[in-house]
Every structure is written in C-alpha cells, then in structure tokens.
Amino acid sequence: NAGVTQTPKFQVLKTGQSMTLQCAQDMNHNSMYWYRQDPGMGLRLIYYSASEGTTDKGEVPNGYNVSRLNKREFSLRLESAAPSQTSVYFCASGPTGDEQFFGPGTRLTVL
Amino acid sequence: AQSVTQPDIHITVSEGASLELRCNYSYGATPYLFWYVQSPGQGLQLLLKYFSGDTLVQGIKGFEAEFKRSQSSFNLRKPSVHWSDAAEYFCAVGAPGGSYIPTFGRGTSLIVHP
C-alpha cells in the first residue's frame, strides 16, 4: 500500500498562475481533507470531503477549489495564485470518525 | 464546535530526561483525542488516540497520554527522550458523530539536547 500520495512535492508559481495539487489514497477511506501548514499556525483545514461526491469548506477556503474525482482522488486547485498562498499543503484521508493518514506534503512558493 | 490548545510553542529537554507535552481541549462531551508527530519535511504520523475506556493510552515509540476529563486535558508523556524524538507534536480533537472534522492545535516543537 502506498497510503496517501501527493504530487508534486515542490512547486514554484508566479502570481496569477493556476495549478492543481493531486492527492490519492489506496486505503478505501471515505473522508479526505486538504490542509495548509504555515509557521506558528498549525494545520488549517481548506476543504474536506466526507464521501465521494461531496465537498465542504473548511476554515480557509478562499482562493481554492476542490474536486473529489472518485473515492481515491481529491484534488486542490488554485485558480489565480497569490503570495499569501505560499505554504505547505497536506492531503489526508481517514475512516469517518477516526485517525487521519497524511501525505508527504507539497511545498508551494508563489512569487 | 471543539477547540484545542497547546500552551507550549517550544519545549527543550536533555536526552534521557522525561517529557510531558500539554494539550487542553474544549468540547461539551468526551471527544476523540489524538496526538500526531511530524518530523522535519514529513507528513504527520499518528502516535496514539483516545476514544473511550481506559484513560491512559499507550502509543508507538514509547509514548503515552492520559485523558483527564476534569481538567479537559490529554497530555503526552515519555519517560526517557531520545534525540530522534526531536520533532513537531500536534494534539487534535474530533467530535463524535455528524460531519467529522478534527481540529488541530498549533503544535509544540520538541528540541532535544545531547
């Protein structure tokens, strides 16, 4: 089992560019999550998906969109990147009501 | 809604010393409680979790945590710290039932001196 995989690992964008962060899990989990991690801020939830076909906003959704493509995949899209979106992005999955399994993260810099 | 506080941003200990990392939560009933560890450049890994039952929970890597309802706390402990324990530690709380969205504390950075 690969667990939770994320691509890319690193990305540099210019302000205004768009990109999609990919996430996939092979553990048959219903719930999937996108977080951003900034120094001193801990993990902040961007969007989550409680099951295939559903998505909901988290604490910091502005500037992002998501797609739960199927049970395995949950992508995060930045339509017009801004320097404030420079961060480390983590995807996680888990059985509803239980622990979360995290991917290795994507380190994004927006210039 | 639930919340979680980790009062210590940084903790420094000597190798071989004991460790206690504090976590306080706010929730109307007994929540689900978790401790995760994040090594530099890595994702988070579960150390241990508490749902119900015995209030002293054993985890991986020699860690344990104790749920204290009266203090709304779930502190993480280790009797003897190793240099490899240097990492960021996150406490998380989840509300049973409904839309399950765990809330994370801001983390405690553990520094281990030789």
Chain B segment 50-89 residues within 8 A of A by beta carbon are none
**Choosing among A7, A37, A55, A88, which should be mutated to test the B contact, i.e. which has the most B CBs within 10 A?**
A37
Residues of B within 8 A of A35 (CB-CB) are 104
Q: Is the pLDDT of residue B97 over 80?
A: no
Q: Is the pLDDT of residue A96 over 80?
A: no
Select the residue of B94, B105, B106 nearest A97 (Cβ to Cβ). Answer: B94
Share of chain A above pLDDT 70, in %: 100
Q: From A97, which residue of chain B is nearest by alpha-carbon distance?
A: B100
Give buried/exposed letters for B63-81 (b at 16+ CB in 10 A, else e).
Answer: bbbbbeeeebbbbbebeeb
**Would you place residue B98 in the very low, low, confident or very high pLDDT band (cuts 50, 70, 90)?**
low
Task: Give me the pLDDT at residue A44, please.
Answer: 94
Amino acid A51 reads: S
A53 touches chain B (CB under 8 A): no
Chain A segment 64-83 residues within 8 A of B by beta carbon are none
Residue B62's CB: how many other CB atoms inside 10 A? 14
B17 touches chain A (CB under 8 A): no
Tokens coding A75: 């992508």
Q: Is the pLDDT of residue A97 over 80?
A: no
How close A81 comes to chain B (CA, Å)? Answer: 23
Question: What value does the mean pLDDT take over residues B81-107?
Answer: 89
Residue whose entry in the numeric block shows the structure tokens 């406490």: B91
User: Which distant-in-sequence residues (6+ apart) come within 8 Å of B44 by Cβ?
Assistant: A43, A90, A92, A100, A102, B36, B37, B38, B90
- CB–CB of A92/A101 below 8 Å? yes
Angstrom distance (rounded) from CA A61 to CA B3:
19
Q: How far is CA B39 from the centre of its chain?
A: 14
